[in-house]
Structure 1
């Protein structure tokens, strides 16, 4: 399969200014069925890049370049048109599920709202789909979970529910911004394995934004390293971890415990 045939999202020469230049000419392609990692320390511009895709930057932000979803240009797209893309063709999973899930709405309501708006699904059809989504992300007792509230679930289960909400309308692209940072280590592996499986099974293009190269080694097919608003190195995972070329990448890898990445250790999410 050629790279061009599988390209789901293409970012070209993206620049972002918020009072001062913060992202400088970033170019990145996301491919169906693959996880693209975007790594760097805090302030490197990686989260800004992901937020720009969905038009979620602050009002004061000034952008240039191109972000294309298929034939559609997202950068500068009118807000009404962009709202039809958000949640339906591109979805996002944020760092803290407690913040992204509404505390006063049931899980079922939050899942079916997406379907009602974007798919026109209501009633039993929406409820059945909600159950199937919760089963897909491995939330126990899926049918019973629809009537419960986010605070009644563990942190790992809340993140799985947030992923289910993101998948509700079968998006082409999933943006995951530090999706395991708020979780303990034993739960992280299960969430990462889930994202990896979803990319493969649903031909989903995933952008994984993280500061943690250990996370990247476990899930990403391709990795781009950002520093000071620029991509300084990119390669497939095996090449980058075996033979990093840029001094900054070498420094990040050297800081990892044991300075050795093997990508092993996936386990079950035991956070019940």
Structure 2
């Protein structure tokens, strides 16, 4: 069974009488243990697709069609139930970890709060698990890191902390919206390979949303290309990158700088800890 199945998803934004359809009937299926890439330029509807899955559309936004998490329908789900799904069964990593992490709470507090809320762990159990999660996402000295605030970490390490929080409750699905855009190329490589490793190790279905096909080529098993709210091409990574069928996909591939290619192979350097 697919971890997440999106069928004929449509998203409308704006006030009544002047609404705009920004996602226009797309279909996607996320498989456990695999990375589904969703690529497209700014405004294509890819991030709004992720927000629809989370049930976090802007005020007045509506979603129709079907979004099934396993065999459970999310569209139309009561908000209280949806809050229980977010964080527990669906994790989210945003583009800017500085915006998604609370600046006045320690990393330990942010990690343990989500686990105590969703898993019912004691304070001691949650702290032990929090240190294990930081170690798994390769944050150095995890016990000491729990006592630190987000500003005390590098950008790459903050994003690793955000991934640890997103995965703290063993979700079935991870949504990653431009997770490496704010990072330099060296740090990007380590982050992408970490996401790939976590997908395989945890049998996690990952939706990787990005405008950067170089990033997509590094880890995606399947790729869908969006334009103007529609998916114009979908297939395996090999199919889309070696034999693109749509002119827009060919244009995106032609615009890729050669400098991005080393992301897909080679030894992964350690990021700067300063």
Compute the TM-score of the two structures, normalised by the length of structure 2.
0.95
The runs of 4+ residues in structure 1 deviating greater than 6 Å are none
Provide the rounded CA distance (Å) in 2 between the counterparts of 1:240 and 1:266. Answer: 25
Structure 1 vs Structure 2 CA RMSD: 1.2
Aligned to 1:230: 230
Partner-residue secondary structure (3-state), 2:50:
helix
Partner secondary structure for residue 140 of structure 1: coil
CA distance in 2, matches of 1:31, 1:16: 23
- Deviation, 1:62, is 2.0
Instruction: Count residues in correspondence.
Output: 267
Provide the rounded CA distance (Å) in 2 between the counterparts of 1:77 and 1:268.
44
Per the normalisation by structure 1, the TM-score is 0.96
Aligned-partner SS, 1:103: coil
Unpaired runs of at least 5, structure 2: 14-18
Distance 1:108 1:62, change over 3 A: same
**Partner Cα separation in structure 1 for residue 48 and residue 247 of structure 2:** 23
CA distance in 2: counterparts of 1:271 and 1:193, whole angstroms? 17
Matched, 1:258 2:253: no
Q: Who is 1:168 aligned against? A: 168
Q: What is the rounded CA distance, in whole Å, between the counterparts of 1:266 and 1:32 in structure 2?
A: 26
Distance 1:259 1:80, change over 3 A: same
Q: Hey, what's the Cα distance between the residues in 2 that align with 1:83 and 1:176?
A: 18
Aligned to 2:217: 217
Displacement of 1:271 in angstroms is 2.2
> CA separation of 1:42/1:265 partners in 2, compared to 1, >3 Å: closer, same or farther?
farther
**What are the Cα deviations for residues 120-158 of structure 1, in whole angstroms up to 9, with x where unaligned?**
012211110000000000000000111100000000000
Unaligned stretches of 5+ residues in structure 1 = none
Out of 5, 10, 13, which is 1:15 matched to?
Answer: 10
1:165-204 mapped onto 2 (5 Å cutoff):
165-204=165-204
Q: Give the secondary-structure state (helix, strand or coil) at the position aligned to 1:208.
A: strand
Give the superposition deviation at 1:257. 1.3
Contact 1:191–1:269 (CA<8 Å) still a contact in 2? Answer: no
Instruction: Give the structure 2 partner of residue 267 of structure 1.
Output: 268
Cα shift at 1:259: 9.5
**1:156 touches 1:269 (CA, 8 Å); kept in 2?**
no
In the alignment, the residues of structure 1 paired with residue 269 and residue 57 of structure 2 have an alpha-carbon distance, to the nearest angstrom, of: 35
User: Shift in Å at residue 58 of structure 1?
Assistant: 1.1
- What secondary structure sits across from 2:187 in the alignment? helix
1:28-87 Cα deviation digits (max 9, x unpaired): 000000000000000000000000001010121122100000121111111000011000
Q: Deviations over 1:227-267 (max 9, x none)?
A: 00000000100111110010000000000113995732451
SS at match of 1:239: helix
Q: 1:269, CA displacement in angstroms?
A: 3.3
